[in-house]
Amino acid sequence: MELTLPGKLHKALEREAQDAKRTLHAHLVRKLENVTPPIDTIDPRPLHANLPRLTAYLDRVPGVRVLSSEVTPDAYWWVKLTIDIADPLAWRVVQELGFVLNDLSLEDKLPTVFKPVSPPPYLNGGPEECLAWVIESSWNYIDPGWIADTLEGYLPRPVDQPGSWSAQ
């Protein structure tokens, strides 16, 4: 396989390889191994089949409303949601989702990111009107059904009962 890289990218990769004390080839192989899933997991069908399952689960969380979701052409996915900041459980929900989706375990971190997103506050309204949250897969071909199962295993149960959340 022959690969021609744009000049700036080539120089940056050469510098990274040099700093890592590897050949450029070894460095590229290592980088690609870190972002390319095993061949047996490359199947886009679960992405499309299970993203609705994840969004349905999230819609059951107190104060959460899913706004949109999508599977990207390169097999990543995302879910955009709001959390009603007037809900007394709002910050508990943020804390639980942040823990499970961002920091579940040092050894077994989920390939997801949970983060706030907002248009410029000075041009729009405050957080009551414009603050949203995004859950994104950080690896491609990650089954959103697996993420739904993981959330279900860690979030309070039943997830749609506010009393479950406050008892924690």
* pLDDT surpassing 70 at residue 122: yes
Q: What share of the chain is helix, strand, coil (3-state, %, to 5)?
A: 45, 15, 40
Instruction: Determine if the pTM surpasses 0.75.
Output: yes
Q: What is the band of 167 on the pLDDT scale with cuts at 50, 70, 90?
A: low
Question: Residue 76 corresponds to which tokens in the numbers above?
Answer: 């990543």
Distance CA 77, CA 71 (A): 4
pLDDT at residue 128, rounded to an integer: 85
Q: What is the band of 61 on the pLDDT scale with cuts at 50, 70, 90?
A: very high
Distance CA 134, CA 112 (A): 10
Distance CA 78, CA 101 (A): 12
What tens digit of pLDDT does each residue of 27-40 get?
Answer: 999 999 888 888 88
Buried b (16+ CB within 10 A) or exposed e, 66-84: beebebeeebbbbbbbbbe
CA distances from 155 to 66, 71, 79, 111, 164 (A): 17, 24, 18, 17, 9
For residue 151, how many other CB atoms are within 10 A of its CB?
Answer: 21
Of the CATH numbers 3.30.1490, 3.90.1150, 2.40.50, 3.40.50, which one belongs to the domain with range 42-161?
3.90.1150
pLDDT at residue 136, rounded to an integer: 98
Question: pLDDT higher for 123 or 4?
Answer: 4
Nearest to 72 by CA among 44, 92, 94: 44
Type and span of the H or E element at 30: helix 24-35
Strands 77-83 and 112-117: unpaired
The angle subtended at Cα 45 by Cα 142 and Cα 72, nearest 5°, is: 60
* Helix, coil or strand: residue 99: helix
